Amino acid sequence: MVFEGLSEKLQETFKKLRGKGKLSESDIKEAMREVKLSLLEADVNYKVVKDFINKVTEKANGKEVMESLTPAQSVIKIVHNELKDLMGTNDSKINFSDKGFTVIMMVGLQGAGKTTMAGKLALYFKKKNKKPMLCACDIYRPAAIKQLQVVGSSINIPVFSMGNKENPIEIAKKGVESAKNSGCNILIIDTAGRLHIDTELMEELKGIEREVAPSETLLVLDAMTGQDAVNVAESFNKEIDLTGLILTKLDSDTRGGAALSLKTITNKPIKFIGVGEKMNDLEIFYPDRIASRILGMGDILSLIDKVQSEIDDKDALEMSQKLMTNEFNFENFLDGMKQIKKLGPISKLMEMIPGVNKAQLSGVDMEQGEKQLVVIESIISSMTTKERKNASLVTSSSSRKRRIAKGSGRTIQEVNRFLKDFEEMKKTMKQFKGMEKSFGKRKGMFGKFPF
Q: Outline where 342-397 has alpha helix (H).
A: 346-350, 366-381, 385-389, 391-395
- pLDDT score of 421: 82
Work out whether strand 270-274 and strand 282-284 pair parallel, antiparallel, or are unpaired.
antiparallel
As a whole number of angstroms, the distance between CA 120 and CA 114 comes to 10
Taking only the tens place, the pLDDT of each residue in 3-22 is 777 888 888 888 888 877 78
Q: Per-residue confidence at 35, pLDDT binned at 50, 70, 90?
A: very high
Mean residue pLDDT of the chain comes to 82
- pLDDT score of 439: 43
Q: What average pLDDT score do residues 374-378 get?
A: 86
Taking only the tens place, the pLDDT of each residue in 130-141 is 999 999 999 998
Q: Per-residue confidence at 294, pLDDT binned at 50, 70, 90?
A: confident
- Stated as kind and residue range, the H or E segment containing 203 is helix 199-212
- pLDDT score of 109: 92
Taking only the tens place, the pLDDT of each residue in 398-436 is 999 999 999 999 999 989 988 888 887 777 666 555 544
CATH code of the domain made up of 303-439 = 1.10.260.30
DSSP state of 61: T
Q: Per-residue confidence at 446, pLDDT binned at 50, 70, 90?
A: very low
Instruction: Determine the residue type at 192.
Output: A
- pLDDT score of 437: 47
Whether 81 has a pLDDT exceeding 80, the answer reads yes
Q: Per-residue confidence at 156, pLDDT binned at 50, 70, 90?
A: very high
Whether 383 has a pLDDT exceeding 80, the answer reads yes
Predicted TM-score (pTM) of this structure = 0.70
Q: Per-residue confidence at 441, pLDDT binned at 50, 70, 90?
A: very low
Residue 352, number of CB atoms within 10 A of its CB: 22
CATH code of the domain made up of 102-297 = 3.40.50.300
Domain boundaries, the chain: 4-87, 102-297, 303-439
Sequence-separated contacts (24+) of 33-39 with Cβ below 8 Å: 34/9, 35/10, 35/79, 37/9, 38/6, 38/9, 38/10, 38/13, 39/6, 39/257, 39/260
Taking only the tens place, the pLDDT of each residue in 168-189 is 999 999 999 999 999 999 999 9
- pLDDT score of 323: 56
273 strand-pairing partners: 247, 283
- pLDDT score of 124: 94
Taking only the tens place, the pLDDT of each residue in 257-269 is 788 889 888 999 9
Could you give the C-alpha distances from 61 to 23, 29, 57, 86, 295, in angstroms and in order?
9, 9, 6, 20, 20
Percent of the chain with pLDDT over 90: 38
- pLDDT score of 249: 84
Q: Do 4-87 and 303-439 share a fold?
A: no
Whether 64 has a pLDDT exceeding 80, the answer reads no
- Stated as kind and residue range, the H or E segment containing 212 is helix 199-212
Question: Which one, of 136, 109, 134, lies nearest residue 123 by Cα?
Answer: 134
- Domain 4-87 falls in which CATH fold? Four Helix Bundle (Hemerythrin (Met), subunit A) (1.20.120)
Instruction: Determine the residue type at 283.
Output: E
- pLDDT score of 444: 40
Of 35-44, 193-202, 354-363, the range with the highest mean pLDDT is: 35-44
As a whole number of angstroms, the distance between CA 338 and CA 376 comes to 11
* Complete edge-to-edge strand list for the sheet that includes strand 132-136: 159-160, 132-136, 186-190, 102-107, 216-222, 244-248, 270-274, 282-284
Q: Per-residue confidence at 309, pLDDT binned at 50, 70, 90?
A: low
